[in-house]
Every structure is written in structure tokens, then in C-alpha cells.
């Protein structure tokens, strides 16, 4: 569904991505791991044209992103919803209207119809109990789940999630994990998750890629990742004492 072919990206004299070739298969939960500053967020932003590569190609569903017009890029951004690390909600709107507003804007519905759909979406993703709250009253895990509900209201094929569990307490983090797994299994949504959270990886990942020194040092199934002998992967997992089963 998402494909990187020999992608390079630099900022000034820093070669963040040197030669990345990587595929995110349709309908699965694929994690991209790597140390802080490895370029994971940069990689994910290339998918929806928030950044452009210097060389190489990035495809979303076989469409080359590098040369798309703004209109076509808009279509890709609708189909592939990007959820930023600091899930941004409109502070002056209730949770319900945070979800209803983009429905109204992008799906051309009136206020009543968009609110009804937003209510359905919130119930579907188990956040309807907080529909009337203002964002400032929510915990960080709740904000994240509302951001996922809002993205799902756009009826995407794919979610790109940047560090969805970073900064959350373990209970909130696992609830976010469960929601990601649920949208993947129930709706067949392709999820590309950028993370450092090995507990999440163990509990919800199908595939794992490890970004190291500007290229993908490992790519495979989650079991293969934890069994990998690739030195940089071993070092990264070194402090991992999570041995829970899925």
C-alpha cells in the first residue's frame, strides 16, 4: 500500500535518510522503529507530501507522491490520515464537533447530518462517553483516541500514526493500542505506526521495520524482529524486558 524505493532526504549537511526501500502491506499494522532522531517522522511525512524526498520514489497505492499536484495530494491525505504525535484538537469545540467539523467540510454534509455521523463514529470507537467534553478536560490518551476517531470519520484506507503511545501512562497506552488493532482488524485499515514502544510492538504489530543510519536495517514479521541478530536491533531491544504474549 505504501512503498519507498531508494529514498534519500537531507536537511543542510545532515543526511537523515540515505537509501530507504520499504513496503507497508495493505490491511496490516506495520511499525517503524528506530532511535530518537533516526528519521522516523521524516519518513512518515514523505507519504502524504508533508515533506518531499531529494531522490528516490514514494508510492501510496501505486501513485507516485513526489510529483502530485495539490489537488491529488489532498485526495491522498484523505485516504491516508496522518495523526500527529501531539494529537491536535480544536480547543474551542466539543469532542463531538471536533469530529463533526471535518465531516462537514470534507464530506459535504450539513450540521445535523455531520453530527449524527460523528456520534456514530465516536460510539464505534468507544469514545462516545466524552462526546460533550471540551478537549482541555481530556487526558492525553483520550485526546489521542478522539484524534483517531476524527481520522476514521474521513473513511480512510490508511492511518499514519506518529508515536501514538509516547507520553501516555501504561493503561492509556494500551487502550490506544487496542483501538489501533481494532480498526485494523474490524475495518481492514492499513496502519503505519512510528514508535519506540516495544510493548505496543509486541501487542499489536504484524510487521516491524528498523530504521538505522538512514536505511532500513531490518524488515520482517514481529516474531522475526525480536529474534533478530542484527546488532543495531539487538542493542535497541537490549533494555526490553517485555515478554508478554499477544
Ligand X SMILES: Nc1ncnc2c1ncn2[C@@H]1O[C@H](COP(=O)(O)OP(=O)(O)OP(=O)(O)O)[C@@H](O)[C@H]1O
**Distance (Å, whole) CA 228 – CA 230:** 6
Distance, in Å, from the CA atom of 246 to the CA atom of 244, rounded to the nearest integer, reads 7
Is residue 69 within the footprint of ligand X (CB under 6 A)? no
98 binds Mg ion (CB under 5 A): no
Only segment of 38-46, 70-78, 89-97, 138-146 that touches ligand X (CB under 6 A): 38-46
From the list 26-34, 38-46, 137-145, 151-159, the region that binds Mg ion by CB under 5 A is 38-46
Question: Whose Cβ is closer to ligand X: residue 66's or residue 155's?
Answer: 66
Question: With binding defined as CB under 5 A, does residue 142 bind Mg ion?
Answer: no
Q: What are phi and psi of 15, to 5 degrees?
A: -85, 95
Residues contacting residue 126 through CB under 8 Å, at least 6 positions apart: 145, 179
The sign of the torsion formed by the CA atoms of 60, 156, 209, 235 equals positive
Q: Which stretch binds ligand X (CB under 6 A): 32-40, 60-68, 88-96, 233-241?
A: 32-40
37 belongs to the binding site for ligand X (CB under 6 A):
yes
Of these, 29, 31, 33, 41, which contacts ligand X (CB under 6 A)? 41
Burial 194-207 (b: 16+ CB within 10 A, else e): bbbbbbbbbbbbeb
- Site membership for ligand X, residue 207 (CB under 6 A): no
Decide: is 137 part of the binding site for ligand X (CB under 6 A). Answer: no
Instruction: Tell me which stretch binds Mg ion (CB under 5 A): 35-43, 146-154, 178-186, 219-227.
Output: 35-43
**Using rule CB under 5 A, residue 41 touches Mg ion:** yes
Helix axes 140-152, 95-107, angle to 10 degrees: 20
Nearest to 79 by CA among 177, 186, 165, 2: 2
- Residue ranges that bind Mg ion, judged by CB under 5 A: 41
Amino acid at each position: 500500500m505504501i512503498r519507498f524505493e531508494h529514498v534519500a532526504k537531507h536537511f543542510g549537511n545532515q543526511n537523515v535518510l540515505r537509501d530507504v526501500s520499504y513496503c507497508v502491506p495493505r490491511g496490516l499494522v506495520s511499525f517503524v522503529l528506530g532511535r530518537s532522531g533516526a528519521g522516523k517522522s521524516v519518513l512518515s511525512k514523505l507519504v502524504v507530501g508533508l515533506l518531499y524526498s531529494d531522490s528516490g520514489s514514494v508510492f501510496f497505492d501505486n501513485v507516485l507522491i513526489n510529483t502530485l499536484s495539490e489537488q491529488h495530494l489532498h485526495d491522498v491525505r484523505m485516504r491516508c490520515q496522518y495523526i500527529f504525535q501531539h494529537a491536535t484538537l480544536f480547543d474551542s469545540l466539543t469532542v463531538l464537533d471536533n469530529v463533526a467539523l471535518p465531516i462537514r467540510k470534507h464530506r459535504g454534509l450539513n450540521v445535523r447530518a455531520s453530527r449524527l455521523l460523528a456520534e456514530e463514529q465516536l460510539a464505534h470507537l468507544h469514545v462516545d462517553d466524552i462526546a460533550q467534553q471540551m478537549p482541555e478536560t481530556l487526558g492525553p490518551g483520550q485526546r489521542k483516541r478522539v484524534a483517531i476517531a476524527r481520522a476514521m470519520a474521513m473513511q480512510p484506507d490508511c492511518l499514519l500514526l506518529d508515536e501514538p503511545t509516547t507520553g501516555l501512562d501504561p493503561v492509556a497506552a494500551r487502550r490506544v493500542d487496542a483501538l489501533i488493532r481494532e480498526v485494523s482488524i474490524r475495518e481492514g485499515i492499513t496502519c503505519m505506526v512510528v514508535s519506540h514502544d516495544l510493548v505496543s510492538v509486541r501487542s499489536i504489530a504484524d510487521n516491524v521495520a528498523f530504521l538505522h543510519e538512514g536505511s532500513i536495517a531490518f524488515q520482517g514479521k514481529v516474531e522475526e524482529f525480536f529474534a533478530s541478530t542484527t546488532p543495531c536491533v539487538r542493542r535497541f531491544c537490549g533494555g526490553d524486558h517485555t515478554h508478554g504474549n499477544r
